Structure 1
Amino acid sequence: MNSLIVSFLIALLHAAPSASKESNVVLVKSSERFQVKCPSVPNRKRVQDIVWFKDNHTHPIYRYSAENAFSVFTHTTTHQHQPLEVWKGRVFSFIEEEQPTLTIGKANQGDSGVYVCQVTLSNRNTLSTSTTVLVVGDTNRPELFHSETGQRIKAFVGPVIEGNDLRITCVIQKGFSLQWYLNDRRIKEDNQSSLRATMLTSSGLKAKNSSVVQSRLTLRGLTRDMHGAMISCEARNENINLTSSVSVAVSLWTRPAEMRIQSRTFSAGVPASVECEIVGSRPVPEVTWRISGRPGQLASTFTHVSKDNAITTSVVTFVPTEEDQGRILICEARNQALQDFPGSTANQTLVLNVFYKPSVECSINRQGPLEDGATLVVFCKYRANPETAEIVWYRDGRRLEKSNAAVLVEHQATAKNSGRYACEVINAEGASRCDEIHVSVNAARPAGAFSSVLFVVCSTLVAVGFRN
């Protein structure tokens, strides 16, 4: 057996369960009988239990048990053969030989796969071996198998995780030559290329007295553009002028490549919808929404997937509040199938620009009544988005035309400036007016009134003095 065949068998051994000590390959034509061999056991009396498994199934397809029964007079051994129900009538075992075997009749395409025989000895030690079975159908048509598992490939191969390698084996009877094509372009043998076709001879691999030809294709580090690519294996027999081929499409699991989120403005208290697109994630990702500073998640209201599963669109509807201004809306896509691989999660964000009508507060520069001639200052403090706003002042419900500023100033205030003051702030979202502030300005006293009184008092006192 040449070195390439040895490499092929080593790869199959690595793909088998970890308990296996030996590995081999069996190629069999459809409807024929084949055998799955167990490890060699020189002393059959040491065998306590033999089980055969197929692929990764937890239930054995066949079990042989040797139970010892002791009495005072006899020592007997009972043998129990227990095939799985669906395999009854097709399988039987030979355990008398040094190397026990399981024989399976009428092979069909579903029988392709990895078989494991596990032998448990009386000392509780175990021996095991794996056999990869490839069931070949029409001998004039090539067939494709997974190189690692021996599973037959039908219309699609995969899913393969982006960045991983893909290994396919093409098998046909002796007399044909095999050639690989990728999207109708011939793949040449090139050890330096990421596309590598390795021809394997049929030495040592027999399918019921008919040797076969097989070729293994290795595609290294699959990129996302390989999704949907067509791989073909073409078989040619120059002697009988016959050409046949088989083709499969590559199914690839890929990480999110790009995310787009719709940018927009919002109005407080008004329901709003935001759209998030996830491009290139296969299978369809799980999409979640949340707002920074808010507990919990937002419930997605709508999800749409394109026909080719390349674009996932998620829509969320929520009611923004004034407090959400400046917070971050987060759309997160998680590819659950790739959760153990880097890049399986991606997100896109949007800083919320929430418009809301003004909230207004008014205040005055001093408390209590103002003296005539003092300076009156009324402040209008507001918060609004958009900030550009119109400010209107009112006194006793009537609009004051002379000011559009956030501060109203009256120099040399008089009693005429007394009244109820309020400011109204208007932006695109609406108008708000502060609570009224009561302003009282004392009236001015008449000029000389106090001195006249003093003068009268003084003159009266003088007159009384002279009379004495």
Structure 2
Amino acid sequence: MKEAVVETVDCQVVGSRPTPHIIWKLGNQTLQGHTIRHRDNNVTVSRVKIQPFKNRTGLSLTCEASTPGIPEIVISDKLILNVQHEPQVSLRLGQNLDSLNIREGNDVYFVCEVQANPAVKVITWRFNGLEISKGVHRSGNNLIIQNLGRQWEGMFTCQAKNELGEGTSRELKLNIKYAPVCAEGQQQVYETMRGEQLAVSCLVHANPIILGFSGNSTTPRGPIT
């Protein structure tokens, strides 16, 4: 059975007179069936329609028949539901990892949680929309990044695929904290006249935000005070 596709199931009872009383049950829930009597060959058919959902997998669909006047004798047959569906996917950080305190140099791992029937054949990992092909380790449904670098700050997703389709997780943002680092390519030498004011810029990358600056400068004759 496929999820959300309405299925018709028949229950056939032979050799009961008068017409048997037929009850349908899905788990503990009683369903309303439609009974058809074939008098020529003494066969009664009861028909029920069900709409499978994935949370009904493993439930018993039972047909119970009894003859009016003999209620103590009940015969039954059952069908165990196996509802197939596309993957439903969610993404989270591994246990004991605090998303608010991920630091440069740490080891981190992600868990791609998948519900699917039939089982998934392929799990694909993406970083900022692009498939991850190197710089990581994979183990089952886990993605592992060792000695985390700042280049991994961004959005992660995982995608799972089975015979019925594919599902993609919501994006998970990895926020990496790191010590201040001076940006490359900045001007390092400034020339000015004595007594003239000079504006010196300093571009720094950091996470969290920098609270203050300190520094020193030098001239050919020594440090400026």
In 2: Cα distance, 1:287 partner to 1:318 partner: 16
Structure label with greater radius of gyration: 1
Q: How does 1:250-289 map to 2 (within 5 A)?
A: 266-289=1-24
* d(CA) in 2 for partners of 1:385, 1:442: 39
Aligned counterparts of 1:306 and 1:414: Cα–Cα separation in 2 = 78
- 8 Å CA contact 1:293, 1:327 repeated in 2: no
One-letter code aligned to 1:429: L
Q: Name stretches of at least 5 consecutive residues in structure 2 with no aligned partner.
A: 183-214
Q: Does 1:411 align with 2:143?
A: no
Secondary structure at the aligned position of 2:55 is classed as helix
- SS of corresponding position for 1:320: coil
Deviation, structure 1 residue 327 = 1.1
1:299 aligned onto 2:32: yes
> Within 1, Cα distance between the matches of 2:161 and 2:39?
45
Query: Helix, strand or coil for the counterpart of 2:124?
Result: strand
Paired residue for 2:115? 383
Say how many residue pairs are matched. Answer: 184
Indicate the residue corresponding to 1:77 in structure 2.
none
Number of the residue aligned with 1:373: 105
Distance 2:141 2:152 in 1: 18
2:204 alignment partner in structure 1: none
Provide the residue aligned with 2:91 in structure 1.
362
Name the SS for the 2:8 alignment partner. strand
Quote the Cα distance in structure 2 between the aligned partners of 1:304 and 1:359. Answer: 43
RMSD: 3.0
SS at 1:303 equivalent: strand
Residue identity in the other structure for 1:409: I
Displacement of 1:329 in angstroms is 0.7
Aligned partners of 1:268 and 1:354 also within 8 Å: yes
SS of alignment partner, residue 334 of structure 1: strand
Q: Which has the higher contact order (CA 8 A, sep 6+)?
A: 2
Give the partner amino acid of 1:303. Answer: I
The code of the aligned residue for 2:125 comes to W
Structure 2 partner of 1:422: 157
Q: Counterparts of 1:288-367 in structure 2 under 5 Å? A: 288-294=23-29, 297-301=30-34, 303-305=36-38, 307-309=40-42, 311-339=43-71, 342-343=72-73, 345-364=74-93, 365-367=97-99
Could you tell me how far 1:303 is from its partner in structure 2? 2.4
TM-score by length of structure 1 reads 0.35
Is 2:87–2:166's contact at 8 Å kept on the other side of the alignment? Answer: yes
Q: Secondary structure at the match of 2:99?
A: coil
| 1:5 matched residue in structure 2 | none
In the superposition, the TM-score normalised over structure 2's length comes to 0.69
Contact 1:356 1:384 in 2 (8 A): yes
For residues 2-401 of structure 1, the aligned pairs below 5 Å read 266-294=1-29, 297-301=30-34, 303-305=36-38, 307-309=40-42, 311-339=43-71, 342-343=72-73, 345-364=74-93, 365-368=97-100, 370-401=102-133
Taking the aligned partners of 1:293 and 1:323, their CA distance within structure 2 comes to 14
Paired residue secondary structure (2:157): strand
Give the counterpart letter for 1:351 in structure 2: I
C-alpha contact (below 8 Å) 1:424/1:432 kept by paired residues: yes
The structure in which a higher percent of residues are helix is: 1
CA distance in 1, matches of 2:172, 2:55: 28
In the TM superposition, residue 306 of structure 1 has moved relative to its aligned partner by: 5.5
Query: What SS does structure 1 have at the residue aligned with 2:31?
Result: coil
Question: Contact (CA 8 Å) 2:87, 2:120: kept in 1 or not?
Answer: no
Q: Deviations over 1:83-122 (max 9, x none)?
A: xxxxxxxxxxxxxxxxxxxxxxxxxxxxxxxxxxxxxxxx
Letter in 1 for 2:148: A
Q: Secondary structure at the match of 1:267?
A: coil
Residues 357 and 431, structure 1, Cα contact 8 Å, conserved in 2: yes
Alignment-derived partner of residue 435 in structure 1: 170
Q: Distance in 2 between matches of 1:267 and 1:329?
A: 15
Question: 8 Å contact 1:334–1:346 — kept in the other structure?
Answer: yes
What is the CA distance between 1:371 and its match in structure 2?
2.6
Residue-by-residue CA offset, 1:143-183 (whole Å, 9 max, x unaligned): xxxxxxxxxxxxxxxxxxxxxxxxxxxxxxxxxxxxxxxxx
> Aligned equivalents of 1:305 and 1:395: distance in 2?
63
Amino acid at match of 2:19: V
1:400 deviates by: 2.0
Identity percentage of aligned residues: 23
